[in-house]
């Protein structure tokens, strides 16, 4: 049986976790934030990091909404290299007591940027 996340991270905590997850100098094992389906592709979080770095985009968490049933919505400001900032909704879900980035969201980023991942063969989570 899955355990419940003790406390949903606040904006600052989740922003730190997301920045760490998108740090291209770290290996997947060094990153606290993971993606649902990572067992199919342990490098998926690093693929995301590389894609955001290649696009010269940085992400900053601006809001965390807890829906109270193991799913949260994270509002993120995505800033491009030319300074344009756009809001992105990043869905996360609890898996065995750990919050993880939605596989569907991660795979949308991967696939729309022409990359591939074994975890994205059936990206519905």
* Exposure class string for 67-94: b at 16+ Cβ within 10 A, else e: eeeeebebebebeeeeeeeeeeebbbbb
Q: Is the pLDDT of residue 123 over 70?
A: no
Provide the pLDDT for residue 78.
95
Domains of the chain: 11-112 (3.10.450)
Q: Using one digit for the tens of pLDDT, what is the confidence trace for 2-19?
A: 445 567 899 999 999 999
Supply the pTM of this predicted model.
0.88
Nearest residue to 13 (alpha-carbon basis) of 95, 99, 108: 99
Tokens representing 50 are 């590389």
Mean pLDDT across the stretch 25-34? 94
Give percent above pLDDT 90 in the chain.
80
The mean of the pLDDT values for the chain is 90
83 — phi, psi (to 5°)? 90, 0
Please check the confidence at residue 1 and state whether its pLDDT lies above 60: no
pLDDT for residue 125 is more than 70 = no
The CA radius of gyration of the chain, in Å to the nearest whole number, is 14
Asked if pLDDT for residue 124 goes beyond 70, the answer is no
Entry field: residues in the chain: 125
pLDDT value for 25: 97
Average pLDDT rounded to a whole number, residues 61-80: 93
């Amino acid at each position: 049986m899955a355990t419940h996340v003790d406390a949903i991270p606040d904006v600052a905590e989740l922003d730190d976790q997301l920045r760490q997850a998108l740090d291209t100098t770290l290996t997947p094992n060094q990153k606290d934030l993971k993606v649902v389906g990572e067992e199919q592709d342990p490098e998926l979080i690093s693929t995301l990091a590389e894609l955001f770095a290649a696009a010269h985009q940085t992400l900053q968490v601006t809001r965390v909404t807890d829906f109270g049933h193991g799913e949260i919505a994270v509002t993120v400001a995505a800033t491009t290299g030319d300074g344009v900032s756009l809001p992105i909704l990043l869905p996360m879900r609890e898996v065995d007591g750990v919050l993880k980035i939605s596989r569907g969201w991660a795979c949308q980023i991967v696939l729309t940027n022409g990359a591939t991942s074994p975890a994205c063969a059936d990206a519905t989570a």
